Every structure is written in structure tokens, then in C-alpha cells.
Structure 1
Amino acid sequence: MKRALLSLALLGLGACSVGPDFRTPQAQLPDSWEIIPGSETSVGGAVDSRWWQQLGDTQLTSLVERAAKSNLDVRTASNRLEQSRVLRQVTGSQQYPGVSTSSGYQRDRSSQKGLVDPSGRNGESPYEVWTATLDASWEVDLWGRVRRNVEAADADMQLTAAQRDGVLLSIAAETATDYIRLRGVQAQLTVARQNLEIARQSADLTRIRFENGVTTNLDTSNAAAQVSTIEATLPILQAQQDGLVNALSYLLGEPPRALNAELREVKAIPHPAPDVPLGLPSELAQRRPDIQQSEAALHRATAQIGAAQADFYPRVSLGASMGFQALNGSDLGAWNSRQWSYGPSLYLPIFQGGRLTGTLELRKRQEQEAALNYQRVVLGAWHEIDNAMTDYAAQKQHYAALQQAVQHNTDALDTARDRYKQGATDFINVLAVQRALLTTQNELVQSAAQAAVERVHLYKALGGGWPTP
């Protein structure tokens, strides 16, 4: 018996694991990126893990890093990661022997008409039973069922870590985007107030000319309408500003308007550093959390196939128990009150009504789905990066053209106002040029903000990442 138990233990240590072994899938990515002209991107170098610092705004950096610590979605994802680590610990405990101890006291009386009374009193009086035992058990993992379950738990832990990193990346990108848009709205408010001042000056000029009989009431009405039109945009822009401040407050886990004092001061729209290193396409699978997550899911599904296959084979467990039993508490520690047992147990599935076959087929189908999902995620990442580079390049070109348009409209407005003062043109021309200037100034501000936002989208598409805690 001792030799048999020793042989089983050694067999368990050197046992094989049934089922397929996981192999890291090869991501179908291009050998190099196709650089879009005007996108300010370059191949080579490493994507900065603290990419938000490339936007050149210390207040934005502070908001992003505070959101990483206090955002409720991030904290929830971190909690799930800790749960997966605990679950891995629980699953891993199956690899080791389980040892427990127990003790008890029981007062019994046997039937005088029943079975033999173990106390020898023939059921004539009650008796006491005192016990104290130490039990140990261990499953000899002959076919790798436990090892495959541990492997699946490891993969699940990697999956939740990738999910946490994905949430961090998304929150960082959302915080940066809302901050950029906030600065954009504040810039639009500044433009509107500047144009409102110009419109009021024009209204005063038309009023003076009307009082002197040089112009008609039409010019004064048009000038007043222009003032009212610009004034009407201010409450809408103010509401947008308040909404973005609240959005940032929510991302930081703060109540509404908590950041009003901090963000009230108007600052310039963040101007990113001129160059974005794309890195190599082959590195994308190591950077993007969604690719890491889908790879871990495929690994988990592969390991679960092995666990399902191992259920078809016998399970051998080793058990041992030793302790004391006595009818009197004073005899419980006596040597002749000892008792012990040891030996193996065998579990062999014979008929399960198709449960094992169905489970195995399910695991195979789940592994196929995970493999397809990995391909889908990689292909989606490739498309997302290409689109992000295209959008970023287009927005930069759009911004450069709008800068020229604003300069031309500014010169045109100066000329039109001078000619109107000299009586060489009517006020309708001045009004048309002023409206064109206001439109292009707003478009320029929006384009500057959108260019910075597209830069954020490009970093997110590249899996810019977050330093691993």
C-alpha cells in the first residue's frame, strides 16, 4: 500500500496535461505604417506611455493623473482585477494538499432493540463520545485538470488587467478630450465677446451717422440686429462651458461644479508637440489593451478545453486521517485512544448523459469564437489607426487654411469699415464682412480644438498606454 501511494504521488508530479497548449497568435498587421502626408507622424521610437504630457498643458496633466486615481470606473476595474487575483489564489489552492482539523463532543444513547451499542452498555444508559482528528487530502492531477484550471485563472487575471488598462486609457483620453473642448468653448466665448465689441462700435457709428443724416434707419437696425445675434450666442457657449466642467468633475469622481474655481481662468487650447512616433506595427499587440484582452480570452478558452477533456479521465485522490476517540474526555489524549486511516480513492465517470461531451464541444466552440474575436480586434485596431492618422492630417490642413481665411477677413473688415466711414460703401458690406470674420474665427477655434482632439484619438488608437502600477 505504501509503495502504491508513493507511486501515485510520483505519477501525479510527472503527469501530463491533456488538451491543446496555448500559442500566442500572430497578429495580422502590416510591416510598416503608411504615413499620411501632413499627419506629423513618424515610424520608429516608442509611443510615450504618458502621452498626455505631449499636449503641453500642466493642468491637463494634473486632471488626467487625478482621474486615474479617483475615477469610479477605474476603481471598479481595479477592484475586478483584485477579484481575479483572489480567484486565481482559490483555484491554485487545488494543486496542494488540503489539511483540516476537527474536534467534537457528542452524548448518545443507543437502542436496546437496535444494533450493537458501541459503548457496551446495551442501550441501558447514555454515553459520551470525544473526538479529535487531523485530515488531509490531495487530488493527484494525472491528466492536468487542475493545472488547466489554474492556467485559465492566470489568463483570466491577465484579461482583467488588460480591461483595467483599457479603462485607464479611455478615461485619460476622455479627460483630455473634455479639457480640450472646454478650452475651445472658452476661446469661442472670447471671440464672441471681441466681435460683440466690434459690433457695438459699428452700431454706435451707424447711430451717429443716422443722427447726422448721412445714413438711413436700415443701417442702424442691421447694426443692432448684429449686436443681438452675437449676444444670443453667449448663453449657449456659457452652458457648454458649464457642462464640460461638470463632465470633468464626474470623471474625477467629484460633485457638479467642483472644478469651477480651478477651470474658470481662460487658458489657450493645448498645442501638441509636433511629432507623433507611431512605433512598429508589431508592437501594437503589446500596447493596445483590447488586443491584450482578446489574447487573454483566447488563452483562457484554450485552457478550458484541456480542463473539459480531463473530466473524461479517472480522478485519483489521496486521503489520510489521524486522531483520537474516547468515551471519556480524560482518555482523549491516551495513546490507546488513537485512530488513523489512509488510502486512495478513485472517481471514474461512466455515464453522464452527454454532459461531458457537451461541455467539451462548448469549450471548443468558445475557443473558436475567441480566436475570431482576436482577429476582429486586431483588424479593427489597424483600421482605427489608419482613420486616426487621416483625420489628424485633414484637421491640421483645415486649420492652416482657416488661419489664412481669418487673416484675409480681418483685413477685409478693416478696409470695409474705413470705406464706410468715408461714405464709399454701404453698411451691408461691412455687416457681411463682419459676419464672415466671426464665422471663420469660430471655425478656426473649433479646428484648433479638434486638431488636438484628433491627436488624442491617435494616441488612444496606438494604445498609448499607462505606466503599469
Structure 2
Amino acid sequence: MKYTFSFLSMVIVIPTLVGCAVGPDYHKEDVWTPSKWSKPTQNLQASVNSQVVMDKINPQWWDYFHDPVLSDLERRAVTANLDVQMATQRLIASRAQLMIAGSARFPSVNGSAGYQRNQYSKKGFSRAIDKIRNREPALGNMVNPSDIDVPAFNQWDDALDTSWEVDLWGRVRRQYESAKALKQMSEEDRRGILIAQQAEVAQNYMTLRGLQAQLQIVKENEKIAQDILDLANQRFNGGLVTELDVRSAEAQLEQTRADIPNLEQQIIEYINALGLLLGEPPRALSTELSTPKPIPPVPSQVPIGFPSELAQRRPDIRQAEAKLHSATAEVGVAEADFYPKVTIDARLGFQSLSLRDLGFWSSRAWSVGPSLSLPIFEGGKLKGQLTLKKAEQKEAALAYRKTVLQAWQEVDNALNAYQAEQLRQVRLQDTVKSNQRSVYLAQAQYRQGLQTFINVLNAERRLLSSQQDLVNSNTQISINLVQLYKALGGGWESTYPDSSQIASTQPQTEVQTQGQTQTMSKKN
């Protein structure tokens, strides 16, 4: 009756205790979020042609540039980029760790089978008979120890062994909760790497097109410098100027030509950089990227989503949140280590001295029972471990808040940089126009002998410098837009994108380029 009471008590009490879990439960942190995006000054906002708007972001944000080559490179980077592939393997490893942690929630069952050939010693039987003889002389004298023959015998057994830790204090559940959060961290790490690599592809592509545009400008200025040299030679042969004008014109021509090899070298470097991002060897993309194309223009309206969505789009914020969740669960694991650990072990099998009898029900053998282990003295190990986990939790909470604030800082800086560079572009356009007119007037007046040659050279240098500055500004505007979308966390999808999902679906959009607006749409 006592056994029945104890067993029933265990059946009733254990499920009740299993529902408990020591340690703090995770609750999402409340972080600062502005109600609207910050806006630039009124003068700056009125001067730019590409305006940011609160609207849904296309997950394939690079399609806003309406450049089919760029869109194709981005689609290929999803599966070809080696950093993304390494992050995928880390995610697979974290999922395996989750399976390992989750297995502790269930009983472990193992099968075993064995065979033994046993031989007991005669000496043991002789000592037993001697003891019997001492107690019962009449009975002991009936058996002579020397006549005893102890035969060898076989022992066959097979069994199922099972063990299950009764999770009274939630230690196993907290471990599984932590492992799930770590898996979430790996998922966000992969997504963050993908966004960073996609932004890197776009920035390198913009820079490549900008270098090609600079090379074209230098070659055009090379022709201008050659024309000025021809003019100086004509005037020198006519006795109108000294040799100084000729040599100065030659120096200007060679200086202009000296920029060409450097630009060509940089073009090759950026083609190779794009190849590496796509997992290709050097020069593999030369055929498709060597032909110069315009710098991808920015759209007249740039959707940037809504402020409340930033925490969902930024993988680093989600990763920091998952880390905090894991650290919180680890505190529960450390607290549960202070409590007793109860394990139920059971064994069911068959034992027989003959193989042919092994399968009979009468050969069955079984055992079942709980075991309990209680930490009594650990030398401060458990207390130190709990203190460590609590400190790690607080650190993770602070890191989460810092990540959120840093994200908002990056977005704010990217917004201002995007709009400020457009204002700079407008000023540079006016500068180029003025310098083009200055070169024309200086050449015309030099032919008439109204200007010295030094004025022609200065006008040419100013024109080349301003043209390069304008190309750099056009490039930087597109790069700044890429950096803005990177700061916003790219687009957002509920599932991780693959190459089939990265389909170019460009809507008809007004695209602003060098102060002029034109309508472009993707050709079907």
C-alpha cells in the first residue's frame, strides 16, 4: 500500500512540477523609436530632385536604378557569394545544435544485446560448504568439496534501456530556448551578410561606372589638349609666340594622358572586386563589364519605409535581440543547476542461459526506478556561473540598446548624406558649364592674341577638375542611396531570399540624372 501511494504521488506531482521553470522569462525590450524620419533643412530639401518618401520598400531595391546589369549581378550574388555560403553553413551548424539541445527533452532509448561464457570458481563453493559444515555438521558432511564440479555456462541477454531527465525546474527547456535564440542569431547573421554583400556589389558597380565615365572625360580632354598643342605649334611656326607655349601645351597633354593608366588600373581592380563578390576568378567579368555604361541614376522618389519597421528590417537589431533572449534563458539554466536533478531509468529485456530460450516471455527481466542527484558542495562554481550569466544578460541588454541607437544614427547620417550630395551636384553642374565657356573663350582669345597661353592652360585644368568632380558626385549620389538602403536593412522579406525570389520587377519610375528627370521603365 505504501508503494502504491508513493507511485501515485509521483504520477501526480511530477507533471505539476515539470510545468515550472526557474529563471527570468524573456520580454522584448522597449527601445526608442521616432514617429517619423528626420528631414533635412528646408533649403536643402527644396534643392534636390530625388526625394525620400515613406512608402513600402521593394525587397529588390537595386531595381530602382533600372540597370539590368546591376540587377543581374545582385541576383547572382545571392547564391554565388562565398561569404553568404559560409554563413549558410554556420546556420546549418546552429540548426544541428538546436536538434542536439532539443533531444534532451525526450527519453533516450538504446538497444543492447550480449553474450557471456561464465565459469565460477570451485574455491568459492568450497568455502560455502565449509561454512555450512560449521553450522550444520550433519548436512555439511554429506557433500565433499573435492567432488564438486562447477560447469561453465552461457548467458544471453538483450534489452531496451531508456533514461529520461524529469525537467522539474525547466533546465532542459531553458537550454532549448537558448539554442533556439542562437539559431535565430545565425539566421540574422546570414541575412545581414547578404545585405552587406548586396550593398557591396552595388557600390562597386557604381564606382566602376564612375571610373569609366572619368576615363571617357580624360580622353575627351586629351583631344582638347592635343588641339591646344596644335594651335600653339601653328602660332610658334608663324612667329607669334615663343617655344614656351609649345612646351607648356605638350606638358599639359602628357599630364592628361598620365591619368589614363591609373584609371584603367582602377577599372580592372573593381571588375575583379565584383568577380570576387560573385565567387569568380580575376578578369572573369571583364567581357560583360568592360564596356562603359552610364552611372545608374537615382529615382525621383525613394521609398524608405516607415520608422516603426526599422527594427524588423535591420538584421543586426534582430540578432542583438536574439542574443539577449539566449542570455536570458542561460540565466534560467544556471539557476536550475542549484536544484536536484531527477532521472528515471528503465530496462526491459530477456535473459537466458540458452539462446533458444531467449525469446520466451518467461525469460523477461526488467527494472525501473528514479535516481536523484543533488549538488551539495561545488566550491562556489554554481554561484559563480549564475553571476556570470546574469552579467552576460545585462551586457546583452545594453548591446541591444546600443545597436538600435547606432542603427538610427546610420539611417539619419545616410539620409542627410544622400540629400546633401544632390545639392553639391547642382553646384558642380553650374561649375562645369562655366568652365566649358571659359575654355572656349580662352582658346578664341588666344587665337586672336588677346590672351596669354597660361590662361588657356588654367581654363583647361579647371574644366577637367570640375568634370571629374561632377562625375564623382554623380557616382557618390548613387552610392549614398545604396548606403541608405543598407542602413535601412535592405528590403524586408518574411523568408530568406533565393535566386528565384530575386526577380527584377521594376515599376515605372521617374529617374533623375544630372539635374534632368526622365521616365524609365524596365523592358519586358
TM-score (norm 2): 0.85
- Which residue, 9, 16, 27 being the options, matches 1:11? 16
Report the more deviating stretch, 416-425 or 292-301: 416-425
By how many angstroms is 1:466 displaced? 5.3
Other structure's SS at 1:95 match: coil
The separation in 2 between residues aligned to 1:23 and 1:279, in whole angstroms, is 26
> What's 2:39 paired with?
35
The separation in 1 between residues aligned to 2:159 and 2:380, in whole angstroms, is 40
By how many angstroms is 1:158 displaced? 0.9
Mapping 1:159-170, distance limit 5 Å? 159-170=185-196
8 Å CA contact 2:14–2:168 kept in 1: the answer is: no
The separation in 2 between residues aligned to 1:141 and 1:116, in whole angstroms, is 51
> What's 1:296 paired with?
322
8 Å CA contact 1:129–1:325 kept in 2: the answer is: yes
8 Å CA contact 2:53–2:301 kept in 1: the answer is: no
Mapping 1:178-257, distance limit 5 Å? 178-257=204-283
- Which residue, 33, 47, 56 being the options, matches 2:66? 56
**Paired amino acid for 2:69:** Q
8 Å CA contact 1:20–1:303 kept in 2: the answer is: yes
Q: In percent, how many aligned pairs have the same letter?
A: 45
Cα deviations by residue, 1:430-463 (Å, 9 ceiling, x for unpaired): 1111111000001111111011111111111111
Other structure's SS at 2:299 match: coil
> What's 2:335 paired with?
309
The separation in 2 between residues aligned to 1:129 and 1:304, in whole angstroms, is 47
8 Å CA contact 1:5–1:344 kept in 2: the answer is: no
Q: CA 1:122–1:392 in 2, change beyond 3 Å: closer, same or farther?
A: farther
By how many angstroms is 1:281 displaced? 2.1
Report the more deviating stretch, 331-340 or 450-459: 331-340
By how many angstroms is 1:390 displaced? 1.6
> What's 2:29 paired with?
25
Mapping 1:31-430, distance limit 5 Å? 31-36=35-40, 37-38=44-45, 40-42=50-52, 44-113=54-123, 124-430=150-456
8 Å CA contact 1:110–1:123 kept in 2: the answer is: no
**Paired amino acid for 2:336:** A
The separation in 1 between residues aligned to 2:424 and 2:125, in whole angstroms, is 97
**Paired amino acid for 2:356:** S
By how many angstroms is 1:115 displaced? 8.7
Q: CA 1:435–1:108 in 2, change beyond 3 Å: closer, same or farther?
A: same
Cα deviations by residue, 1:69-128 (Å, 9 ceiling, x for unpaired): 1111101111111111111111111111222211112223333335999xxx98844332
8 Å CA contact 1:35–1:42 kept in 2: the answer is: no
Structure 2, unmatched stretches of 5+, are 128-146, 497-524
Q: Highest CA radius of gyration, 1 or 2?
A: 2
8 Å CA contact 2:166–2:344 kept in 1: the answer is: yes
**Paired amino acid for 1:31:** S
The separation in 1 between residues aligned to 2:24 and 2:445, in whole angstroms, is 84
Report the more deviating stretch, 126-135 or 231-240: 126-135
**Paired amino acid for 2:68:** T
- The Cα RMSD (Å) is 1.9
8 Å CA contact 2:67–2:296 kept in 1: the answer is: yes
Other structure's SS at 2:23 match: coil
Other structure's SS at 2:54 match: coil
Report the more deviating stretch, 107-116 or 158-167: 107-116
Report the more deviating stretch, 170-179 or 378-387: 378-387
Cα deviations by residue, 1:359-393 (Å, 9 ceiling, x for unpaired): 11111000000001011111111111111112112
Report the more deviating stretch, 174-183 or 58-67: 58-67
The separation in 2 between residues aligned to 1:184 and 1:381, in whole angstroms, is 29
The separation in 1 between residues aligned to 2:304 and 2:353, in whole angstroms, is 79
Report the more deviating stretch, 30-39 or 173-182: 30-39
Other structure's SS at 2:298 match: coil
The separation in 2 between residues aligned to 1:370 and 1:241, in whole angstroms, is 43
Report the more deviating stretch, 346-355 or 438-447: 346-355
The separation in 2 between residues aligned to 1:186 and 1:362, in whole angstroms, is 56
8 Å CA contact 1:35–1:41 kept in 2: the answer is: no
The separation in 1 between residues aligned to 2:246 and 2:475, in whole angstroms, is 36
8 Å CA contact 2:178–2:329 kept in 1: the answer is: yes
The separation in 1 between residues aligned to 2:459 and 2:378, in whole angstroms, is 84
- Which residue, 446, 451, 466 being the options, matches 2:472? 446
By how many angstroms is 1:12 displaced? 5.0
Cα deviations by residue, 1:251-283 (Å, 9 ceiling, x for unpaired): 111111111111011000011212223333221
The separation in 2 between residues aligned to 1:204 and 1:374, in whole angstroms, is 67
Cα deviations by residue, 1:135-187 (Å, 9 ceiling, x for unpaired): 22222211111111111111111111111111011001111111100001101
Q: CA 1:370–1:229 in 2, change beyond 3 Å: closer, same or farther?
A: same
